[in-house]
Structure 1
Amino acid sequence: MNRKKIKFSILLIFGCLFHISSIHAQERLSLELAVQTALENNYDIMLNKNEVEQAKNNVNRANAGMLPIITGNLSTNNTVSNTKQTLSSGVLQERNGAKNTNLVYGPVLNWQVFDGFQMFARYDRLKELENLGEANFKLAVQTTLADVINNYYDLVQQQQQIKALRGALEISRIRLRNSESRYTIGKAAKLEVLAASVDLNTDTTNLLRQIDQYRNTKIKLNELLARDINTDFSVSDTIIIGSSLLLTELQNSAAQLNPSLQSALINKRISEINLREVKANRYPGINLNTGYNFNRSTSELGFARNSVGRGLNYGLTASINIFNGHLQKRAEKNASLQIQNNQLQYEKLNQSITSQLSSLFQTYQTNLQLVKLERQNLEVARQNMDITLEKFRLGSVAPLEFREAQRNYIDANARYTNAQFEAKLAEVALMQLSGRLNLQ
């Protein structure tokens, strides 16, 4: 029964090895291609891009109310009535079912020529809304770019983990085979074979779980790229970490390029424009109107049986708010308070970004040191594993000591890859906050 379990474990091992070896036969997805695909297909980017186009379309003088409005109007009225009229001459006229019609049509122009400069404020607000849309689009691009890079390098570090677990699995196979041989010739107890079998199954389970996580991360990256989630691919085998970042440069760059800070500044400017719009209500509004009308009316009873007229009409309308229950004063005060709130929001966000940059930079430097340390630890663990494996083949190392060396190697590899990945995450976050994230 134990032999059947062992054979089953070996089949699982070969299945895992086949899966890993097939990775190398797949088309390799480079980070550059992943980013390019995301920029072209990602739904968040496409949605924000359309919103930017909408904001651009809205920036025109007509939308701000600067241009006149010309309409073509037509109205017709028809009546049927029973009429009885006594004329001034004393003549009585009476008609049942008398029909009267009136038709008026023609172009009409309305133009608000002055509204307290509100139209100019509206036009400025439309331009600022376009800038806000572009800032939000940049934020979406930076966020997507960070997500793609992070997921890509997550796959790289998981791939390294799988490689280490595969090596550990191969060592466990050698250990089991050696233990079985020793047990056959009577140099080892059954307990040693059972322990080797359990450790082999444990390593197989760890590898299968890591492969499952690797597949799930692939699905997530495919989702970010907005393509078929079952698309298979392989990634690079190295994590490239920049080591020349300076905190002062990052802080200066964030003040100029961070999309969230830019949005906060734009919102403040929009609130200032809103105050101008509110204050415009203190001024009079002047409207011009003109039109050219055609008029035709008919009446079956009365002095004029048929009337046709045409002509130009024009006029001017002016109005000013004299008193509205102090609503104007309240509106101006609220608009001023909104400016203060947006200023506070900007300062709060600026402080938060500065704090995040300082904290992340410290984490980034620490992880760079950990990468160097864990690289050395991994080399020591690898040498120890090689020496212990050779001694195990010669029978001069106890199984527990062998397993401990194997665990140390696996743990050292995991710590090294994790340190690389964490350093890369910190680097990407720093570049994203500074507003200059690009391919590293």
Structure 2
Amino acid sequence: MIMKMNKQLYSLGLVMCFAFAKAYSQQFTETLLSREQAVELMLENNYGIKIAKNTTEIAENNAGILNSGYLPSLQGTASASYDDTDSTTDFDGALDASGVPRTNIEINDAETRQYNAGIALNYTLFDGLGRLYNYKRLKEQYSLSKLDARATVENTTLQLMSVYLEISRITENLRVFEQTLEISKKREERAQYQFEYGQVNKLEVLNARVDINTDSVNVLNTRQQLRNSKRDLNLLLNRDLTSDFKVDTTIVLQNLLKVDSYLEKVSENNIRLLQSASTLQISDYDIKTSKALLLPNIGLSGSYGWNQTDSPSSAFFPATTRTSGSLRVGATLTWDIFDGGRSITGLRNAKIAFKNEEFFKKQVEQEVGRDIANAKGNYTNALAIYRMQQQNVLTNNSNFERTEEQFKLGQVSSIEFRQAQVNLLNAKTIENLAKYDAKLAEYQLLQLAGQLLNIPL
């Protein structure tokens, strides 16, 4: 009787434990989050990508005609002034024509008003082609900014897929651990019945319960890993960290021949190679812009001015209004024949910087070549390991099925049965790891080939 009560309490404890874990893990409605949907959310919400887009927009504004220097400058001016004057004219006893001393003339509140308005136009006709190459430089910087944004998207996508694959791997591992736990529970139940009928000793029951505890811990730890990884993905997607979801565990690996066809066009698509080429072109424009400082500048200017002055009457003159307008057109030529050597120094430094960019470009080409060779080797190796692990699972599964049959017939011990069970468990989890490692290696290779954003994920 006591033995039955212990069994019931033990079973009740397990049920409550897993009911709690299951309720906690499914406290939110799970919806399927596909890889494509994850990428869409990333492109829409990720902070790093938003910053990259804004930086590209700034570069686009800088490369516009309004920032090119090709448009003239137009300046308008206007002013007005007011003067209120009181004056007294004293003739110091001077006589008029009749011989009578002249009377002092006093004028109060004499108002003078003056109005001016003008407009000036200036245009650089020739500046040694510096403006042209600076404009081209801004255009190339805009192209480089787009490449930088693409690099940000590629890196974030690879990071996203890495976390997504980790969630998929843990999800499949959880299924394996749960299946193993169910087998252990059935084994414990069978051992309990056998013990009650005197077919086995108490040790068989205790061993089964120990294995149940081990499998239960594996399930609980895996569920916690799954929750943590989902929070990592939600962080990348910039959404509520508690959002729950399911992932697609289907893995389709690319054909090696197709991957090789992508690698043939690495020079046209690899982001680092494109960035280094763009940076080298910008450095070339810097040289040409520096050369422009050694040439003269020719500018055109024109202005129109209007002026009106309202003068009050004075002791000798009546009130007047004077209006005038002026038009001026001119051309200027300036040439810094020698500016202390600053232009020459700048040109020399620009040429040295260009050489450095050439060296950097060659270095990047070597590094990309090495990275691709390593990535392809990692990918082919991962594929080979995955195929071997698939075969290993088949072998261990067959071994477990035979051991299970013999265990039911009493031909093998519980220790041998447990060892076959653990071997199968390890084989399946290692196969899952090999499968998702191979897919991640494929993504890394495709990123180096410049095709990560161009293929179905």
TM-score range relative to shorter protein: 0.7 to 0.9
Query: Where do residues 127-206 of structure 1 align in structure 2 (5 Å cutoff)?
Result: 127-206=139-218
1:103 corresponding residue in structure 2: 115
Q: 2:70 aligns with which of 66, 72, 84?
A: 66
State the 1:433 CA deviation: 0.7
Is 1:271 aligned to 2:288, yes or no? no
Is 1:374 aligned to 2:386, yes or no? no
Cα distance in 1 for partners of 2:346, 2:157 equals 42
> Are the aligned partners of 2:372 and 2:445 in contact in 1 as well (CA < 8 Å)?
yes
Deviations 1:340-388 (A, max 9, x none): 2222222222211111111111111111111111111111111222222
1:327 corresponding residue in structure 2: 342
Is 1:213 aligned to 2:225, yes or no? yes
1:30 corresponding residue in structure 2: 34
> Are the aligned partners of 2:259 and 2:446 in contact in 1 as well (CA < 8 Å)?
no
Distance 1:284 1:101, change over 3 A: farther
> Are the aligned partners of 2:277 and 2:361 in contact in 1 as well (CA < 8 Å)?
yes
Give 1 or 2 for the bigger CA radius of gyration: 2
State the TM-score, normalizing by the size of structure 2: 0.84
Distance 1:405 1:79, change over 3 A: farther
Amino acid at match of 1:194: L
Deviations 1:371-423 (A, max 9, x none): 11111111111122222233333333323222211211111001101111111
> Are the aligned partners of 1:17 and 1:166 in contact in 2 as well (CA < 8 Å)?
no
Amino acid at match of 1:121: Y
Out of 343-352 and 184-193, give the one that drifted further.
184-193
Cα distance in 2 for partners of 1:86, 1:388 equals 136
Amino acid at match of 1:333: R
Deviations 1:264-303 (A, max 9, x none): 1111111111111111111112222211111123556797
Matched-pair identity in % = 30
State the 1:187 CA deviation: 4.4
Cα distance in 2 for partners of 1:338, 1:147 equals 34
Query: Where do residues 375-390 of structure 1 align in structure 2 (5 Å cutoff)?
Result: 375-390=390-405
1:44 corresponding residue in structure 2: 48
State the TM-score, normalizing by the size of structure 1: 0.87
Query: Where do residues 219-234 of structure 1 align in structure 2 (5 Å cutoff)?
Result: 219-234=231-246
What RMSD over aligned residues (CA atoms) do the two structures have, in Å?
3.3
Cα distance in 1 for partners of 2:444, 2:170 equals 20
Distance 1:355 1:94, change over 3 A: farther
Distance 1:319 1:96, change over 3 A: farther
Distance 1:379 1:85, change over 3 A: farther
Identify unmatched segments of 5+ residues in structure 1. none
> Are the aligned partners of 1:12 and 1:204 in contact in 2 as well (CA < 8 Å)?
no
Amino acid at match of 2:39: V
Distance 1:237 1:251, change over 3 A: closer
Identify unmatched segments of 5+ residues in structure 2. 95-101
Deviations 1:326-353 (A, max 9, x none): 2112111111121122222222222111
Provide the secondary structure at the position in 2 that maps to 1:202. helix
State the 1:14 CA deviation: 4.9
Cα distance in 2 for partners of 1:214, 1:71 equals 65
Cα distance in 1 for partners of 2:89, 2:450 equals 85
> Are the aligned partners of 2:133 and 2:288 in contact in 1 as well (CA < 8 Å)?
yes
> Are the aligned partners of 2:126 and 2:299 in contact in 1 as well (CA < 8 Å)?
yes
Distance 1:12 1:424, change over 3 A: same
2:456 corresponding residue in structure 1: 439
> Are the aligned partners of 1:153 and 1:239 in contact in 2 as well (CA < 8 Å)?
no
